[in-house]
Every structure is written in C-alpha cells, then in structure tokens.
Structure 1
Amino acid sequence: MQTNLAAQFLNTPDGDEAEAILRQCVHCGFCTATCPTYQLLGDELDGPRGRIYLIKQVLEGSPATVKTQSHLDRCLTCRNCETTCPSGVHYSRLLDIGRKVVDQQVPRPAGQRFARTLLKETLPREWLFTPAMKAGQMLRPLLPQALRDKVPHAHPAGTWPTAPQARRMLLLDGCVQPAMAPNINSATARVLAAVGVELEVAPGAGCCGAIRYHLNDQDGGLDDMRRNIDAWWPEVEAGVEALVITASGCGATVKEYGHLLRDDPVYAEKAERVSALARDVSEVVCEFEDALAARIRGKLAQPVAYHPPCTLQHAQKIRGKVEGLLRAIGVDVRLCADSHLCCGSAGTYSVLQPELSYQLRDRKVANLEATGAARIVSANIGCQTHLQSGTELPVGHWIELVDQLLAQAG
C-alpha cells in the first residue's frame, strides 16, 4: 500500500512504524472474513481493512471525525485479523497509533471521558479496585444486571504453598484478577509446587499496563510497565527462570514490553529482557505434562469446553497447548464452533461497547453449550467473567481444573 504521510508524522517513531505497517498491507480483504465486528455489522469500515484505510487517511492529513473515532472504537483488538493476514500486517500496533492520533483531533463527549477515566484510574489500582469488588460482591443481589455481570461471586483463594522448591519463577499477580478470582494464582502456585517449581510475587508489581495503554493513556501504561520492570529487576538479575502469567491479556502485553519501550534509553534493554522471560502459564506447565499425567489417573467424568482467549491464540500465537495438556491428563476437552472468534470481553470493551459485546458473548456461549460440556474453562479473567454472565455452566481457569484434579488424586 502506497503512503504519503503528512509532515507532522514524518520521521517520528509513530509515523515510521505506521508507514512500515501500512506498506505491508496489500488490501486483499482476507482479514475481513474473520473480523467479529464486520460479521455483526457488515460495514467495511468496521473491519480491519476499512479501519486501516481510515487510519491511513488521517496520517496523510485528512481530518479525523467522530465517525472515524467510532469505527476505531468498535474494534475489539482481538487480533484475529493478524492470524489471518498473509502479509503479516501488525494491525494492532497500527490501531494504537491511529486511536491516539484520532483522539487528539476529536474531543470525546463528557460521558465517554468520564467512563474511560474511571476505568483507567480504578482498574489498575489494586488498592482501589479490591475493596470496590468486595463491596460489589456483598451487595451483588441488589445490583442492576449490567453491573452484576461484572461482579463474579466471591471464591476463596485456598492455600499458597510455602515449601522451598528446586526451581524458582516469578508470578505476575495482576490488578483485577486477585480480587475477582484469587484462586487462579494460588492454584497455579500449587500446581507448579507439585512439580518442583516455587512461585514468587514481587512487591511493587501491579497492572501490566494494558488497561491504560489501550484506553489511550499510553504514557500512563508505559509508566505501569516501567514500575513492573523495577519491581522484577532484582529477581531478574538474580537469575529467575521465568515470569509466569496466568491472564493471557497481561501476557500479550508483557511480551511486548521490549517493543513498547524500545525508545526508552533507561528501560529498553531491561524491557527486552523481561519480555524474553515472560511465559504464559500453559507454556510452563506443559513442560511437566508427563509428570502431571502420572499423578492424575483416570478421566474426568464429564466433558469440558475450552475457550481459547484471543490474547492467547492470536496475540501470543499459543494454540493447542492447553487442549493438549488437558487431554494428556485424561480430560475430555472440547472446542466449540468458531473457537477462533472473540467472546466480546476484550478488556474494557464490554463496558464501553456493551451492545456488540453481548451479541458476541451470546454467540460464543451458545456454541460452548452446544459441545455438551458440563463446565467451561478459559485462560483469561476477562473472558471468564464475561462468559459466566451469559451461562449457568460454571466457568473458570483451566489451571484451576488441573489443581482440582491433583487434589483429588492426592
């Protein structure tokens, strides 16, 4: 695709990256076939190719409009288009650039500004979010349905193993997950302790930075990333094996720290090192598949449906590991029709674009229930909470299932 960037974007980091991405696109349209919002709306501008043209026009000097902003807002950033694209177009990075430029030109209405500010200032701060979530769980029966959908039932975390192990890894605790589903990280610690790995949580680490960054507070998101690097760095220098991440949305972001901080003279090399250490929990646990299979004898009585999050299968390009592990330990795990499509959660998307989000959720839930499974597992807290709001089947993280089976096996 030929480009002619406006003068203000020439020879700038964003302009150079956007131009390189635009030049990769051959406007073939393969991406459109796998775009969830295009499937719902049937509008070329609500598919990746159309959005790429909108961003190109703005970067070439055409004024952005409210319509431009709306089409970019409706993108889930599920990155299914990147999996489909034969040219390797890194659409999500172009979208981040485009959204930033458009928001600089098109002021948002007060209601949108308030909602976005509330999300980016509350969710990443555990000291604010955790008491708010606990209050919401106590008052859950009294909440309106839209809010109740965002507040999962309270579940205990269980015990955290304390015995020293031969191997040592860091764990990203996260920001919302400890309050919404505290058992996920403790279950991960128990599973890995059973195979000789000790997990540690670094004091001072918190939100991975994705929430602010994708709400167009890119400076705030980068500051979150720098804070995490500072918190993890003593352990990195001490030789920790890996940084284990149980929420695939966080994992997709941490694995891009090296790229996002590439121009920071203080943090560039450290960020690259942290990204190299980042591992989704499936990448770590699969190393111990044989040992776990030997411990967990017999099959789970009822089938399980697995929903692979977009941030795992499209962003991190991790496919088949979770299903393979679960099958190896005797679980009848099933993928639903259109398992490559987004469930509609997409970070804060379900709050900011509820109509589209719930349409996608209902489609996904119907397909998952059609598998005949007795429960649903996924690999991202956002997907789990979103899916649970649309089904009576229990929804959890797949690592919790492994932990349960280990406990049953003694």
Structure 2
Amino acid sequence: MGKESKSSDKIDTINKNPEEKKPLKKPSNSLKSTKGKLVKKDETSLTDVDFNRKKLFSKGINLMADLKLEDASHAFQMILRIDPNDVDALLKLGYARFHMEDYTESMRAYDKVLDIDVTNADAWNLKSLVFYERKSYGKALDCADKAIDSDPTFGMAWYNRSCYLSMLNEVPQSLDALVRSIVIDVKNAKRAVKDKDFMNVRLEEGFKRIVEVVVIESLRQGYHTIGSIVWTTFLDKEDVLKCLDRLMRKGLVIKHEIRKVWSIVDTYDLVPEVANKVGTTKRGILGIPKKSLPKPVKDLKNLAEAIQLITTTIEDEELEKTIEYCNLFINPEKCGQEMIDDFLEEHREIRLFKIRLKDKGLDFLLDNKKKILALLDDMEVSVMKKLRSDLARN
C-alpha cells in the first residue's frame, strides 16, 4: 500500500512515493573570532541548541533512508530530550517506529503530537496508517477524515480515505475520494492502478476513467508502444489494450502502424487537439525526453524573449532596432495576441511608443528611456511569474 505522510522526507527506500523533501538550512556560523576569542552573535551562550537539533534531525532522516530505523529513532529521541514538544521529531519517531512494526510506540508519538496540536493533519494521516495495519478500517477512515478536516488539500489523506472506503466496500464514496486525490495530485492516479486496496472498485466505470488518465499521461510523456506503456504504468497488457480501444472510440487517441524489418509495430499517439492542450514529451533514440510545451507556455516564453531583445536595444539606444522589435509586441502573429489578452495597457503604450519613435527619432528615445524600461521591467516580472506557474502545472 503506497500511503504516506505529506511530511515524508528522505526515506525513498521506505516510502514508495515520498513527498518533496523539506530543505534543511545550513546552520549559520554563530561563532566569530575576535582578538583570538570565540564570541557568539547574540552574546548569550556558546551552545547553539538549534544547530544541535538540526544536526540530529538530519542524521535521523539519513539513517531512515539507510533503513537503520533503531538508530534513527534514537536520533529523534535525542531531539526530544532537548525539546519534548518538537512536533517534527515526534512525527519522524512515530514513522520510524511504524516501519519497525512497533505500532504502540508509533501511536504514542502521534497522540503526543495531537496533544500539542489537535489539528495536525500529518499526525491524523499517519495515525490512520497504524489503524490500517491493524485492519481497523473504520478507525483508519475516521483519522483520515480528521486529517482532511484540518487540511482539505491534503492529497494523500484523500487517497488513503479512498483506500479505507474500498476496504469497507463503500465503492461510490471510495471513487469520489480517489478522484479528489487525483485532482490535487495527478500522480495518485498511477498509484491507484497498482494498489491492491482497490480490487473492490476496479470494475467500476469511474475507475476505468482513472486508468485512462494514467494511459494518457504515459502517452503524453512520450511512450507510444504497448510494451513501454505497460512498463511505465504497471498495468497489465490486456488492461492497456482495452483502455486504448476506449480512448480511440472517444477520439482521444490515434493508432499508427510502423513497419520494421521483420514485423509491423503498433504505436499510439494523442490526437493533435489533446496533445496541444496537455503538452507532450518527445524522446530521442536513447529515451532522453524532449519536452513539447503547451501553446500558452510557448507564447509566454516568446514574450519573455521579446522583452529581453527590446530592452537591450533601448539600453544601447539603437533607434532602428527598437522600432523593429516593437512589432514583436504588436503583430498578432508574434506576441500581439498575448499582449492584448494579458497586457492590454502595455500593448497600447508600446504602439504609441513606436509611433513617437518614428516621428521624433532618437531624442524621444533618450527622453523616455527610463519610463519605457520601467514598463518593460514590470512586464517581465509578470510574465516570468505566470510562466513559472504554468510550468509547475505542466
């Protein structure tokens, strides 16, 4: 069962799918040399308690990654000697004990966290896993619900809730929770298709649509043959073929036949309309991905490049080049449509700027250089912010 806490750190070998590791900042050098003596920055103590805590925490995480769970537990217990209410250390101690199958100590650690903060979503979710291992699915479901109450965007809690509902044979509610988890994190779709906890819901139409999402994602990533799709999705070959047939009937996928030396190989692609919406990854002969970005992202990248080009010519006071590059923001076949959609005021300003440059020449450029550069700088900030947001979604 691939369930986990959103607070999971560096324990790839323990967790099948850990969430992103929270970075631990390097401890600052709190001791400075002054006339051969050691003096602390805050002039209170030579012992940096926080430094020791971070060092022990990092040590515990690394030990968990190496499956040295007893040693990891000891490291977290050392932190708790410094601060008995350290929530992160308690969560990690409970998680280490959980993987040692010491469920009593694991539960004790999570209950301690909930005594400190009854709304801690991580603790409720992890506590649900203890009940799951004890096959107390009703209690596990109750804990998952409390985790969701504390954090409605907690994708793994929604996923775990769907598992517990499936084990309780509550099929419609299980599918609803699973869909919610996939909306929050699409990787949960791939996790679900190989999770044995969903045996009760595999024949449902809703689950078949989830399988379709997984196959579409595999095609999007550049895997086009039956073998590569089976390999990347962990689905059975028969399930993949049935899914591809359904997608072709819906008009989402097209089939090609490629003639090899001794045989004909079937390959599958997303139809162009779908590929343009979701973006695709092309792979070279060595399987190295070449990303084909969705059109909105491409437009933003082109706009960012246009801003850099015209900024350079304005700074260099090149009149003709500046006039030429103004067309990049005006021409609908370049970045004009993007400007009208998202930067209408700036679009008008640049059109007016171009007209004035043609009429008044270099003097106008010199007089308005700072003003137009400030406008372009603000635009670039907005474009880059939007670009990062769109790339993160893709």
After TM superposition, the score normalised by the length of structure 2 is: 0.27
After TM superposition, the score normalised by the length of structure 1 is: 0.26
Structure with higher helix content: 2
For the pair shown, which has the larger CA radius of gyration, 1 or 2?
A: 2
